[in-house]
Structure 1
Amino acid sequence: MSTQPAPSITPLLAVNFVGTLGFSIVTPFLVVLVTQWGGNAVVYGLIAATYSVFQLVGAPVLGRMSDRVGRRRILLLSQAGTLLSWAVFLVAFTLPEGAFAQVNSRWLGEFAVTLPLVVLFVARAADGLTGGNVSVSNAYLADITPEADRARNFGRMAVSGNLGFIVGPALAGLLGATLLGEVLPVLAAFAISALALALIQFGLVEVAPQRVTEVLEEPSPCDLYGQEHRPAYEVKCPQANGIRAILALPGMAVLMAVNFLVMLGFSFFYVAFPVHAVQGLGWAVTDIGIYFAALSLAMIVVQGPVLARLSKLCAEGWLMSIGGAVLALGFAALMSGQTAVIYFAALLVALGNGLMWPTFQAVLSKATGPQLQGAVQGFAQSAGAVASIAGLVVGGIAYVALQGALFGVAAVVIAGSALIVRAYRAPPAPSEAKPA
């Protein structure tokens, strides 16, 4: 039997970099833009949560479709949705900013509802509905990566994303300083998304997803997720519906709980830090851009040479739990009002996240096995979307009362994930199906 070399992951890394660059280029000034159009921390959280709400609907569907029709086609669909969302975002700049409703609440604070904010919600919804980029990219990477190289390749994937997070905020600061202001970075995001679409079309090769090739005596979750089969083989498959089937996989319930808590804690951070930087610390857009660029640069160092070395010395469970503990300390340090301490917190966040998250993704892909990568990755992204929705909405509301103390809540949540991950036990290596 002839064997072909595995496809290069370089085009996938380029797609991930460009996609992250397009997203991160608006991160430093989005909170300023929301405020300019009448919003506050609650509105900022709701806009961010809108993406997750619609991603919750779209990601599992796209994940299952990628198992059936191929990863590349679904990545094209996802990126086209992102391109459309930036086009809608640009429309918001052309609309009048007059308020057609005012809110003044003890719990929600004071904000106005304007037409540009409504259009911004629509743009985030369009992007979220086709937001399967991450889960499908992870499934694609799992398809083409030998198991021995998974931790290293998922680390390289994280590095390519963090490179985008370095370049994006820095580029936003430069573009935002021009006469076009916030419009030019959004135009750049639109152009960058078009480039990502071209990279997927011309740079990625299609690979056949690994399918279930065994006869299933009666309908099962394998059928539910669109897996094909052929006669002469038999395999045991959990006799439960959708979510139960995924959670029935060995160790999957623990991994999904960790996934949920980490996304919840980070959502508190994402909704609170930009608002806190502007209102609590008095930072300008440039200051926020520099901070996020420094944070991402530190993450690259950790997820590259540091993770590569430590992954050979430490078990995956220890890397995840120690990384979670360090990450929790970093979030706690953000409660300080001193710039030096906040930058030290960035180093802790980079170290903790850099050790924990790529390791978690590699462990999740190995625990899934080859047959349901798209479905499980889609479900994991959906579980993360639920956590994001809760964290962004509740975090935005909580920030009105707690201000910087919300970072302490995020630290407690992340510390909980570090404790839970110690309960994970890797399942035995899957055996090959045998003829019945």
Structure 2
Amino acid sequence: MSAMNTKASSGGEEEALEMRSKTLGESGCSGEIKRGQAILVAYLIATLELTFLFMQMGVMPYLAKSLGLDSVGFGYLQTTFGVLQLVGGPIFGRFADQFGTRAALILSCASGSAFFLLMSISTSIPLLFLSRLPAVFMHGLPGAQKLITDLTTPSQRADALGKLGLCFGIGIIIGSALGGVLSTTFGIFVPMYVGLVGNLMNTMIAMVWIPLQARPKSDHRVTEHSNVFSFREILYLMKFPGVMEIFIVKVFAGLPVGLFLIMFSIISMDFFGLEAVESGYLMSYFGVLQMVVQGLVVGKLTNRCSERTLLRLSVFVFAGVGLGMVRLGVKWCLLI
């Protein structure tokens, strides 16, 4: 009986893979090549978008300070960004379901272009707040995750999605260092110009290299009178087993990480007196550590510990790091 179930599962995966090959307009080896190319393009788009995002994240406190915004005002600015991302996430997901992953990635990259365009002309505090608005549709990483999910079988999916963590690390390392160097050497607005050009290139890459339809039509759940802004459809997803629990864990796990990324530049600037280039190098150092830990430490622990044990261990590690940072008093302590 077990053997029959295994064969059935294998047959289902092969059938799904064949359907995706036909969706891309090819079959056999050619379809596999096109699928692999589309996945590589998804990695490229995610890496570039994260690079530009971290590039502006390290420079933003210095730009805000130059415009006369204090730490409290900067907190409101970053909160605005976070709220827009939170509200836009479900809408972006619905948009991807309605119009396809290609359209969603193009929307994300185009929104990134508008984001950096507005930042490049932000010569006052109101314009700086206005530049946050396009962030509502800037979801390149979830878009890449959806594309990879659509183009891989369940047996390939975990490995393919895991490589997006590498894209995240590369984005932190390159983006943080590049933002600091460009702003210190050429001016505070130069990283914004680079981000604008880069996102325009990303938009063109998505238009040319992402397949028009990466998912078979039979896989789509179509409902009458459904639209992108249907919160009933969004709430419907929460009713699936395990979805609400995962959502809650993701929210509470992402909160301390988000606070750290948002406020670190302010702390390094006001408390430690670091310049933009020094703060960028420090964030790049954190990115290298993250890649080493995820690639070497976490990889080995997953073979020895259960997911629940790793989750609990990560909570204690986060708490220990947070308490340790309270006692930081000198620059070199940041490296520890």
TM-score range, shorter chain: 0.7 to 0.9
CA distance in 2: counterparts of 1:210 and 1:331, whole angstroms: 45
Q: Match for residue 135 of structure 1? A: 142
Q: Match for residue 198 of structure 1? A: 204
Q: CA deviation at 1:258?
A: 0.9
Q: CA deviation at 1:213?
A: 6.1
Q: CA deviation at 1:134?
A: 2.8
Aligned counterparts, 1:93-242, within 5 A: 95=123, 116-126=124-134, 128-178=135-185, 180-209=186-215, 223=223, 241-242=232-233
Letter in structure 2 aligned against 1:193: N
Q: Which moved more, 1:4-13 or 1:187-196?
A: 4-13
Q: What runs of 5+ residues in structure 1 fail to find an aligned partner?
A: 96-115, 215-220, 228-239, 345-436
CA distance in 1: counterparts of 2:211 and 2:302, whole angstroms: 30
Aligned counterparts, 1:234-383, within 5 A: 241-242=232-233, 244-335=235-326, 336-344=328-336
Q: Match for residue 50 of structure 1? A: 80
Q: TM-score, normalised by structure 2?
A: 0.80
CA distance in 1: counterparts of 2:236 and 2:51, whole angstroms: 36
Q: TM-score, normalised by structure 1?
A: 0.63
Seen in structure 2, the aligned counterparts of structure 1 residues 224 and 118 have a Cα distance that, compared at 3 Å, is farther
Seen in structure 2, the aligned counterparts of structure 1 residues 244 and 16 have a Cα distance that, compared at 3 Å, is closer
CA distance in 1: counterparts of 2:245 and 2:127, whole angstroms: 39
Seen in structure 2, the aligned counterparts of structure 1 residues 285 and 225 have a Cα distance that, compared at 3 Å, is farther
Q: Which moved more, 1:144-153 or 1:43-52?
A: 144-153
CA distance in 2: counterparts of 1:337 and 1:138, whole angstroms: 40
Q: CA deviation at 1:241?
A: 4.3
Letter in structure 2 aligned against 1:151: A
CA distance in 2: counterparts of 1:297 and 1:225, whole angstroms: 48
Alpha-carbon contact 1:89-1:186 (below 8 Å) kept: yes
Alpha-carbon contact 2:113-2:196 (below 8 Å) kept: yes
Alpha-carbon contact 1:21-1:192 (below 8 Å) kept: no
The structure 1 residue matched to 2:118, chosen from 79, 82, 88, is 88
Letter in structure 2 aligned against 1:123: S
Letter in structure 1 aligned against 2:48: V
Q: CA deviation at 1:268?
A: 2.4
Task: Summarize deviations over 1:60-87 as a string: whole Å, max 9, x none.
Answer: 2221121122101111011111101211
Seen in structure 2, the aligned counterparts of structure 1 residues 213 and 135 have a Cα distance that, compared at 3 Å, is closer
Question: Structure 1 or 2: larger helix share?
Answer: 2
CA distance in 2: counterparts of 1:222 and 1:278, whole angstroms: 50
Letter in structure 1 aligned against 2:126: V
Q: Match for residue 113 of structure 1? A: none
Task: Summarize deviations over 1:154-187 as a string: whole Å, max 9, x none.
Answer: 2210111220211112112221232x41121111
Alpha-carbon contact 1:333-1:342 (below 8 Å) kept: no
For these two proteins, the number of residue pairs brought into alignment is 302
Q: What runs of 5+ residues in structure 2 fail to find an aligned partner?
A: 1-14, 22-31
Secondary structure in structure 2 of the residue aligned to 1:26: helix
Alpha-carbon contact 2:151-2:214 (below 8 Å) kept: no
Q: CA deviation at 1:305?
A: 4.2
Letter in structure 2 aligned against 1:29: V
Q: Match for residue 77 of structure 1? A: 107
Letter in structure 2 aligned against 1:159: L
Aligned counterparts, 1:393-404, within 5 A: none
Letter in structure 2 aligned against 1:329: G
Secondary structure in structure 1 of the residue aligned to 2:240: coil
Q: CA deviation at 1:25?
A: 1.4
Alpha-carbon contact 2:87-2:136 (below 8 Å) kept: yes
Alpha-carbon contact 1:224-1:242 (below 8 Å) kept: no
CA distance in 2: counterparts of 1:40 and 1:269, whole angstroms: 18
Seen in structure 2, the aligned counterparts of structure 1 residues 199 and 243 have a Cα distance that, compared at 3 Å, is closer
